[in-house]
A and B are shown apart, each in its own frame.
Chain A
Amino acid sequence: MSLLVARGLTVEALVEGETVPVLRGLNFALPPGRVLGLVGESGAGKSMVGRAIAQLLPPGFAVTEGSMAFDGTDLVAMPLGHRRALLGRDIAFIPQEPLTALNPVHTIGAQLAEHHRRLGVRGRRMLRDYALAALSAVFLPDPAGLLSRYPHQLSGGQCQRVLIAMAFAGHPKLVVADEPTTALDVTTQSPIVALMGALQRASNTAVLFITHDLRLAASVCDEVAVMYAGEIVEIGPAAQVLHAPRHPYTRCLQLSIPPMAGPRRALYSLPEQMPGLRALARMSGCRFAPRCPVRAEYCLRIEPPLEGDNHRSACLRPGLVPTIEVEATLPASPWRPAGQAPVLALDDISKSFATGAWPRRGRVDAVRGVSLRIAPGEFVAVVGESGSGKSTLGRLVVGLEQPDTGRIVLAGHDVTAGDEAARQHRIATVQMVFQDPQSALNPRRRVASIITQALEAQNAKFSVREKRARALLAEMGMPLELGLRTPAQLSGGQRQRVNIARALCSVPRLLVADEIVSGLDVSVQAQLLTLLNRLRQDHDFALLFISHDLSVVRHLCDRVLVMHQGEIVEEGPTETVFGWPRHEYTRTLLAAVPA
């Protein structure tokens, strides 16, 4: 007898007058005490499943067919009052953004007390005891002190622990965790996952684990369901789905993830992107077929059923799945360590920022005594957690911040002063790719105008800009007509390409890239990494790659610098540092990557 059973669950949305199935005929069963992972890229509809459980669908969305049964009763047909009694007590949720999920104007103690009161605990003393017990259950130090703290005084990881404490406080039968670790730092992720696992086993709770990370899902879950365009395309035991996928999409995803162990290999680049809601309405046959490397002509017409014993997949040609391989080979690094003059040399750079207001004014050191050299054509990564100073380092290099002490030499010129001469030299030698294309691309410009902004600064003729725009678009693998669109009309991956194209317009000698693949889906990430590797062959630029994702760094970079609290604690060739880490902090970072 399963705890949560979805039978033909269909959610439809009204998009510009058309009814579009957002979730189509979902079937899955979650037995008590087990962990089911829902894996998929953004737009796959995985969060919609969690929302359907709570019946918190966005306006215009509704369950039109099928059922979602919890403990034998249908959650969809259930009266509101009945469902409300279940939520929080028998079904608990762990949200994605811990900081926004807690009320900023109430203390942790007050919020825990409110939650326990809802669960039926009465009396001041009892409420306090329960709150303390809940906080110690999630291994938060000094629970008594925490009760009077506000959410903003806690770190993201601590907030998430509080929310996990709340979720498990009522010994629920089911916990729905929607990307519970995505907003957290790498090193906080693995303890949080471990904590959830321990609590889940202790109280025999079933968990629906929604995530975009296939590897994380495989390490946490008993069963994994892979979603694509609103359908489950493959479902089965976690290890089997990850290591012996039976659906081409899962296989492609698996090949798009840069491996942490074994030889470095090229990544699989899935063409294009997942169809949007409006495209879905007009699709027939297998929804993945247009992008599928092993599709047959009939795949576009016949809808594949989800078939199999305990490992089911919706593919008409599952036998061909293992034959999907990455055809390209990883290009050899063109960087030659011969004694060339470095394109960037930092000597003992420090930067601190003022914090607080008088009289509690203080200074916090963002970067402390950092020295580094980057040779022409070399790809160097800076890794570390948020707050380690890696982004500040990038901003110092491009001149968005001025160092307090130290020396910055760019291609032979001292640009430490940050005066007009230094600025002109920087414009010619270094460019930056910003993290968030939403903020980095002017929403009022067209793509062609954005990517040739460097020429606009030199007052180039329109025809010259037009020509360069065409060349850049072609180089980025984007169709020419995209040049006339505005950033809002592009997909996330396309926006990030525009972001890169703009920086490459005047062919800089050094590119500073701050977390440029972090918010992206793995298939888009693979496309961008492949693109960067190809661009590297064509243009001789060096890269300072700021990232927290070690597998991406291992794939792309020759050398790695590990930053911790503003200092570089370890540096060396990527393989050496990752294979034989010497500093304690590097080991912590490496241990945090899901196996």
Chain B
Amino acid sequence: MLGLLTVITLCAIALLAPELAPHDPEAQDLMLTLQPVRLGSSHPLGTDGLGRCVLSRLLFGARMALTVAVTAAFGAMLLGSAMAYAAGYLGGWTDWLIGRAVDVWMSFPPVVLSLILMVGLGTGRTNVILAIILVDWTRFCRVLRSEVIVVARRDHVAAARLLGFSRWRTLLLEVVPATIPLLITLLALEMGIAVVVEAILSFIGLGVTADQVAWGQMIADGRDAIYQAPANLLAPCAAIFVAVAGFNLLGDGLRRTLDLRLVEGRG
């Protein structure tokens, strides 16, 4: 419940950022650099080294974080789950091939792999999303494949085949619905991970381009002035923390309400 509230609030902030932000996040005012936090002033969370309003940048940063989180998580889900259904339901050499591909993929440290991809692809929002998809589809694939295997072994799947369902139809009507709760849970968790990865990439300057606002970038910028204006660093850190915690709580809550086994266990 708390997770859902957090995520809804974040979405609202991202959508309404132009209305909520007191300033243009890019507007520099070199006369007013490194202002301290003073609620009620025109820069409530102060300004950064270039005199940009921290609050405005924070609000616009939410747009970037959520866009990346939602699209990357969906992309990773589509790629990963397609592979998982193929591997788990068809089995045999398809399973072997996909399984080994995932093994090889996961043997790279994920951060290093995404760095390599970003170097290859170049910076930019689309490329950040692409990098996250290409790194994290394995997570979906691994977890979902085992669930698909469990479901596919259940007798109602065999029964559907005996009653004349085609393979496709059996997969879509008997196997996929049973895995949806897990998929939604993974999706929510993946969004949290995507927020972190996007922040990491932006932090080291391999993420979005300089004219786009991102929390990771703000942390990198605020690092230099940590003693003069700690809010520059702490505000985006807190934002990331809240976003990730929100997605994780949402994932947990969804699992508890959607998982039939847990629901039935409650009686």
Contact = CB atoms under 8 A, between A and B. Distances in A.
B112 interface: no
Interface string B137-163: 000000000000000001110111111
A431 B162 contact: yes
Nearest to A16: B267
A398 interface: yes
Nearest to B261: A443
Interface residues of A, number: 27
Interface stretch (A92-100, A317-325, A433-441, A532-540): A433-441
Contacts of A454: 163-164
A439 B155 contact: yes
B163 A439 contact: no
B177 interface: yes
Contacts of A502: 159, 163
A449 to B, nearest CB: 10
- Range of interface residues on B (Cβ < 8 Å): 10 to 19
Contact of B162 (A427, A439, A456): A427
A427 B160 CA distance: 10
A427 B164 contact: yes
A442 interface: yes
Contacts, number: 58
A595 to B, nearest CB: 35
A430 B162 CA distance: 8
A431 B163 contact: yes
Interface in A403-433: 424, 426-427, 430-432
A310 B169 CA distance: 63
A458 interface: yes
A interface, over-half SS: mixed
A443 B154 CA distance: 11
Interface in A428-478: 430-432, 434-436, 439-444, 453-454, 456-458
Contact of A399 (B160, B162, B260): B162
A400 interface: yes
A578 to B, nearest CB: 30
B interface, over-half SS: helix
A360 to B, nearest CB: 20
Given A427-B164, A443-B260, A453-B163, A434 B177 contact: no
Contacts of A506: 163
A372 interface: no
A432 B156 CA distance: 11
Nearest to B154: A439
A488 interface: yes
A434 B178 contact: no
Given A440-B159, A442-B156, A443-B260, A457 B178 contact: no
B203 interface: no
Nearest to B263: A488
Nearest to A437: B155
Contact of A398 (B160, B162, B174, B177): B162
B105 interface: no
Contacts of A439: 154-156
A338 B169 CA distance: 42
Contact of B155 (A430, A436, A458): A436
Nearest to B175: A442
B159 A444 contact: no
Query: 3 closest A-B pairs (Cβ-Cβ)?
Result: A457-B164, A440-B155, A434-B155
Given A435-B155, A440-B154, A441-B156, 5 more contacts: A427-B162, A432-B162, A434-B155, A454-B164, A456-B163
